[in-house]
């Protein structure tokens, strides 16, 4: 059972109280500074102030992270502001090594082998004559050295061309290959945003689950989310048996919702085990 430490506190102050090298895995999504309407946070700082703030909290993440730990940072952009994720990476380059850059695809259209066009997932339409619909975000995988081992096949997929199984020695006869750095994870369909997703910028639980699995489930004893929101990262940690989860959130309503969801998920788990 996961032990939770969920606090209403600014993450910089909160993380300052954590011991050095205490955390195995960090998965988080900070405010993007794109004017999103949070209830307790101003998402409209000037660019340099925002980047300086990112470096400040990221420095605490680095201090608290174990030498072989992983830090997965989800960052999106706006079509009118596409450089923001890359500027954050540059700002953090003296703190971390960017080991993997993952594309979280929220919506995609493909043409199948029969020539039929199919669309999957959800996106927010843009009524612009200049910009394309924005259908993806980044998940940057930072480590301290760039040499942290990951469990590549934990997210493995079968080979489409089965002849590759025998052709490549690294397969060792297994029909499972690395998924790669393009992850298609659509949002779940909801009926009411205010009731089912009462936060303007949440990421799917599945996205966090894949980060946990990629780092290696057995190696995640302590997990941290400095920007907890309504607790999707906490739900993922609970579902994958992380022993300790730490989360910080400055908005009391989001924190209350996160705690409610964790308790509800725990109750469902207990109920399923007793049936």
Say if CB 39 and CB 51 are below 8 A apart: no
Asked if pLDDT for residue 193 goes beyond 70, the answer is no
Q: Identify the CA nearest to 23 among candidates 63, 74, 53.
A: 63
Mean pLDDT calculated for residue range 201-208: 89
pLDDT of residue 194: 53
Say if CB 93 and CB 51 are below 8 A apart: no
Q: Is 261 exposed, middle or buried (0-12, 13-18, 19+ CB in 10 A)?
A: middle
Q: Identify the CA nearest to 102 among candidates 270, 243, 215.
A: 215
pLDDT digits (tens, 9 = 90+) for 122-142: 988 988 899 999 999 999 999
Cα 118 to Cα 112, 114, 121, 159, distances in angstroms:
7, 11, 10, 22
Q: Identify the CA nearest to 73 among candidates 45, 43, 104, 47.
A: 104
For the chain, give the mean pLDDT: 90
Give the domain extent around 99.
3-274
pLDDT digits (tens, 9 = 90+) for 17-58: 999 999 999 999 998 876 555 455 555 678 899 999 999 999
How many domains does the structure of the chain reveal? 1
**Spatial separation of the C-alpha atoms in residues 94 and 186, rounded to whole Å:** 33
Residue 134, domain CATH: 3.40.50.150
């Amino acid at each position: 059972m996961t032990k939770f430490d969920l606090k209403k506190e600014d993450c910089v102050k909160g993380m300052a109280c954590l011991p050095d090298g205490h955390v195995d895995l960090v998965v988080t999504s900070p405010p993007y500074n794109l004017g999103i309407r949070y209830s307790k946070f101003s998402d409209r700082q000037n660019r340099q102030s925002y980047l300086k703030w990112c470096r400040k909290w990221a420095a605490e993440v680095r201090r608290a992270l174990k030498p072989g730990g992983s830090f997965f940072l989800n960052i999106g952009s706006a079509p009118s502001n596409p450089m923001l994720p890359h500027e954050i990476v540059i700002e953090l380059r003296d703190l971390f090594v960017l080991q993997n850059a993952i594309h979280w695809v929220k919506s995609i259209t493909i043409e199948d082998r029969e020539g039929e066009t199919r669309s999957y997932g959800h996106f927010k339409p843009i009524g612009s004559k200049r910009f394309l619909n924005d259908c993806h975000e980044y998940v940057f995988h930072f480590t301290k050295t760039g040499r942290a081992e990951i469990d590549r096949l934990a997210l493995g997929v079968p080979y489409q061309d089965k002849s590759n199984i025998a052709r490549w020695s690294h397969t060792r006869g297994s029909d499972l290959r690395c998924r790669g750095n393009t992850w298609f994870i659509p949002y779940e369909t909801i009926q009411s945003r205010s009731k089912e997703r009462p936060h303007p910028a949440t990421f799917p639980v599945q996205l966090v689950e894949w980060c946990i699995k990629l780092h290696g489930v057995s190696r995640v004893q302590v997990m941290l989310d400095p920007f907890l929101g309504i607790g999707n990262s906490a739900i993922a940690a609970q579902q994958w048996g992380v022993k300790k989860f730490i989360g910080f959130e400055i908005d009391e309503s989001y924190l209350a919702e996160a705690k409610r969801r964790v308790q509800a998920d725990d109750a469902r788990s207990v109920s399923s085990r007793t049936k």
